[in-house]
Amino acid sequence: MSEFNEFDQQGSVPGKDTGSIISHAFEMYKGVILYAIVAMIIYVIGDSILQSITGFNSWNIAEEIRDTDGNVSNFRSYYSPGLSLYYSFSSILGALLSPLYVGLIYIINKYNTKSTVEFSDLFIGYRQNFVNILIYSLIAHVVLRIALAMCGIPFFFVFPFFLLGYPILLFENASATEAMGKAYNIAKDNYGTFLGGSFLGLILSFCGVFACCIGIIVTGSFITAVMYSTYCAFLGKPRQIVFKQ
C-alpha cells in the first residue's frame, strides 16, 4: 500500500521546450545509468526467450538497420520465419515488463530529489498501480504497433500522445484511462514540444543499435528519462511516493 506526500523537494525542473527537456533527461539518465542497464538486460533476456520460442531473430533487423543506414524499405527480416508469432506475443511481453520502465522513472525522480535509491525501487511498478500499468501498456503497445506497421512514419507522430502515461500512472496513481486521457490532452496542447522531445528521445534510445547492436542495452531506456523530464516540465516535480510498512 502506498500514499502520496506532497512537499517542497530539491531537484531540477526543465523548461517547456524540447532542448531543455532533452538536456535535463540526459543529466538524469547519466545518474541512473546502471539501473537503466539492468532494466534493459532483463528485457533482453525476456525477449531472447520469446525469440527462441518463436524462432525469430530480431537482432537481424538491428543489423540491417546498421548496414543500410536506416533504410527499412527492403528489409529481408520482414519475411523471416516466426515474425508474425513473435510480434503477436511481443506486445504481451512488453506489457509485462513495462513496470520496469515505471520503476526506472521512479528511480530517476529519487535521483533528481537527492533521495536514497534502492535496487528494489526498480520493481515498484509491480507493487504500485500494477493492473493499470499493465492495461495502459497493452493498449499503448497495440496502438503503436499498428502505427509502426504503417511504414513506420506514423509511429513518431502517435508516440507523443503516450509520452506522459507512465509518469502519470506512477506519480498520480491514475487509472489507465485517466492516464491516457490526461497524457493525450497535454500532448495535444503542446504537440510541437512533445513531438520534438519524443522524436529525439527515441532516436537517442535507438542509437545503441549502431554500436555493434549491444549498445542498445546502454541507450535503450533513455526514453524513460525523457518521459520523466517532460512530466517535470509540464506538471512540476512529482510528489514523493511513501510506502506504508
Q: Residue 5's pLDDT is what?
A: 47
- Strand locations in the chain (E): 2-5, 240-243
Residue 58 carries which DSSP code?
Answer: T
Residues in contact with 121: Cβ distance below 8 Å, sequence separation at least 6, in sequence order: 35, 103, 106, 107, 110
Say if CB 235 and CB 60 are below 8 A apart: no
- In terms of Cα–Cα distance, which of 112, 118, 223, 105 is closest to 171? 105
Q: How many CB atoms lie within 10 A of CB 41?
A: 12
Scored b (16 or more CB within 10 A) or e, 128-148 reads: bbeebbbbbbbbbbebbeebb
Rounded to two decimals, the pTM is 0.84
In tens digits, the chain (245 residues) has pLDDT values of 444 444 445 678 999 999 999 999 999 999 999 999 999 999 889 888 887 887 666 655 555 555 555 454 454 545 555 666 777 777 788 889 999 999 999 999 999 999 999 999 999 999 989 999 999 999 998 899 888 878 778 889 999 999 999 999 999 999 999 999 999 999 999 999 999 999 999 898 877 666 555 677 888 899 999 999 999 999 998 876 665 44
